[in-house]
Amino acid sequence: MGKPELKTVKLANGETMGYRVVGEGKRNVLLIHGNLVSSKYWERLMADLPAGYKVYAVDLRGVGLSSYHKPVNSIKDFAEDVRQFVDTMNLDRFILVGWSMGGGVAQLFAAEDPARVEKLVLVDSVSSKGFPYPDPSTGQFLKTREEVLTKGAGDLAALLAQKSFDGFKAVWDVAVFNVIKPEESFYKELVEDVLTCRFFPDSAWAMHNFNISREHNGVVDGNGLADRLTMPVLVIRGESDAIINQQMADETVKAIGDNAQLKIVAGAAHAPFLDKPEEFLSIFEKFVAEAPAA
């Protein structure tokens, strides 16, 4: 569909949200990126999607072109920003896609406003039971915000404070692109994008306390909102993902129930839409090909 256009919009809460947009199709798609990164990571997928869609990809509060006037405390803060964005864009119904932490944001948005979400696609998504951080020394889940921000997310937070390109490149080599490395120039852009992030480590605390299942996740009780995800749901996982393991993907499918299906992308890691774009698009297009539900 061509190169996405980068824009900004003012939200009702006073935050500015950056976003990318491409296409003029009748079906709307909204993409939500993962932790530490921006909508930059969706650029190639957006360009590769066929005609028939209009595709939006937001920068969550505190990354890319978005402002960070008020720090986030929960996944709900991110989801509310997305709600204000779709209100501003007059998007009444759309296919919602969430990657990694963005999958948690997408799950919560869809559970709270299911009539708007035609179909939900969760790509190597944080589990419906969240992403609780263990204590590196004991293995027990951390309890306080201070512990999560220091013991759980402290190393990455330090790299971010230092604006360490080399540090994040080393982390991305083993955590995100541990199977297939992007070409050098593009990889440089993706790592530089991380250095725009201002919401981390607040986002770590938000994922630590996220749980929309009906089970306790070791930190907090689930609130059962996953029961409201009654639209068709596709859970996609790269088979070699070093961040979201198979147990987490299975937890999400279990929490959502019979309307959720799981697809594994062979030879892909945490970002299958970049590692194996043709395979990813084939899975995505097959899932969304059916006419939207009435």
Say if 159 falls within a structural domain: no
**pTM summary value:** 0.97
Residue 141 resides in a domain: no
Is 174 domain-assigned? no
Cβ neighbours for 61, distance < 8 A, ≥ 6 positions apart: 15, 17, 67, 68, 70, 72, 77, 78, 81, 199
Report yes or no: 118 and 293 within 8 Å, Cβ to Cβ: yes
Does some domain include residue 65? yes
**Residue 139 DSSP class:** -
Torsion angle, alpha carbons of 197, 131, 152, 33, to 10: -10
Tokens standing for residue 148? 């999560």
What local confidence, expressed as pLDDT, does residue 136 receive?
Answer: 86
- Non-local (6+) Cβ contacts of 66 within 8 A are 8, 15, 16, 17, 18, 38, 58, 59, 60
Residue 237 pairs in a beta bridge with 264
Question: Are 252 and 229 in contact, with CB atoms under 8 Å apart?
Answer: no
Q: What is the pLDDT of residue 294?
A: 47
Q: Which residues of the chain have pLDDT under 50?
A: 293-294
Cα distances (angstroms) measured from residue 282 to each of 38, 130, 216: 24, 28, 35
> Which tens digits make up the pLDDT trace of 200-236?
999 999 999 999 999 999 999 999 999 999 999 999 9
Give the per-residue pLDDT at 2.
82
Domain residues for the domain of 80 are 5-131+210-288
Return the CATH number at 61: 3.40.50.1820
